[in-house]
Amino acid sequence: MLPRYTRPQMAAIWAPANRFRIWFEIEAHACDAMAELGIVPEEAAQAIWEGGRKAMDALKADPDGNVEKIDAIERVTKHDVIAFLTWLGEFIGPSSRFVHQGMTSSDVLDTSFAVQLTEAADILLADLDRLLAALKKRALEHKDTLTIGRSHGIHAEPTTFGVKLAGHFAAFTRNRARLVAARAEIATCAISGPVGTFANVDPRIEEHVAAKLGLAVEPVSTQVIPRDRHAAFFAALAVTAASVENLATEIRHLQRTEVREAEEFFSAGQKGSSSMPHKRNPVLTENLTGLSRVVRSAVVPALENVTLWHERDISHSSAERYIAPDATVTLDFALNRLASVVEQLVVYGERMKGNLDSLGGLVFSQRVLLALTQKGMSREDSYAAVQRNAMDAWRGNASFLALCRADKEIRQFLSDDELVALFDMGYHTKHVDTIFGRVFG
């Protein structure tokens, strides 16, 4: 996690102190369930909570110092959960012998990981809500702002800038739904003991811990929670990141000097170049393009983590220690940066209209083609006639309408009034309300 691209709230989820807090709560809730089942004395469960709270207070007061104590124990034990339990036991006292009864390390690690991922998902969902609100506001603002639609980067037919933004709104709405589903899928608890058979830990203990942590029970944990769940989670993050890059790339293209239809907000005192004072570079959206690649890089290790030896190995563990903080922290930052870009995006409607008109009406070529076929001209002949005049207009010889008016073959089928009517911009925007109704309801 690079501080440059890290927001504190998301970083706190992956801080060691938060991880150890969750570990303690898992162990303490499990002890409560064991006490209810008569496996451990009730006073021991109470002592575990009391001592554990003292440990958590100490951890909160001096996180670095206490994390270092746990790390020092781990350097001897070579086992992180044992190191934590040893440190925790110093605060609990004799009743610490009842902690972790019948459980295995993965019960703590995987359940804790599920809690962290759901906490991260909640932040990301809030980020998406901010971005969606910004996209909706700007889409409605520019619902009727005419612009040119491009295919292959070349002028195609007219659209509106609002329709463009509505498309991105729809994509991020789908991303939000994917993340909601991924959160639900990852929010599972496994307290099933070695190889997941519940031989030494009653299934009711798992049910109790799951309920306390707001998780579902993992049907078959095998000792670890199946990693297809995690793969789906990181895939949802990756698709969201791809949508971030898609919108960022659109803005970057629109900001090119030759296009200049929209641009990132350029603040007072901002400098675009160390050498060229005139530069106004799309640095934020270029940054978002790079950050999106980082998020997507988590997908391959997440998919490869699905394959583990038999009931469990830890080949997944080292990869997850990297990809979980990095992917969630980076996407959190990217979504907030993109929301800010959209909120402050400078839109040049007149420039959009100027670019739209720059090729002398070529954007109406399909309308002329269709009108000719409706009047009885074959599609092949219609295409040839329209393209012939379109290429002349492309070379700047005259406007497309003027060339069509002078074309004897076209005039055999279309009158002057009929031709002029085909160059009506409103024809291309007549269903914008329908599109907005589908997207925004």
Catalytic residue among 151, 152, 267, 310: 152
Distance, C-alpha 441 to centroid of its chain: 23
- Which tokens hold the place of 75? 């350097």
> ∠ CA 233-238-241 to the nearest 5 degrees?
130
CA 15/CA 120 separation, integer angstroms: 12
CA 370/CA 383 separation, integer angstroms: 9
243 catalytic? Reply is no
Overall size of the chain counted in residues: 441
35 touches 41 (CB < 8 A) = yes
The single-letter DSSP state of residue 103 is -
273 catalytic? Reply is yes
339 touches 248 (CB < 8 A) = no
Catalytic residue among 79, 273, 315, 378: 273
CA 372/CA 196 separation, integer angstroms: 72
35 touches 44 (CB < 8 A) = yes
**What phi and psi values does residue 161 have, to the nearest 5 degrees?**
-65, -30
CA 139/CA 118 separation, integer angstroms: 31
Which residues are the active-site residues? Answer: 152, 273
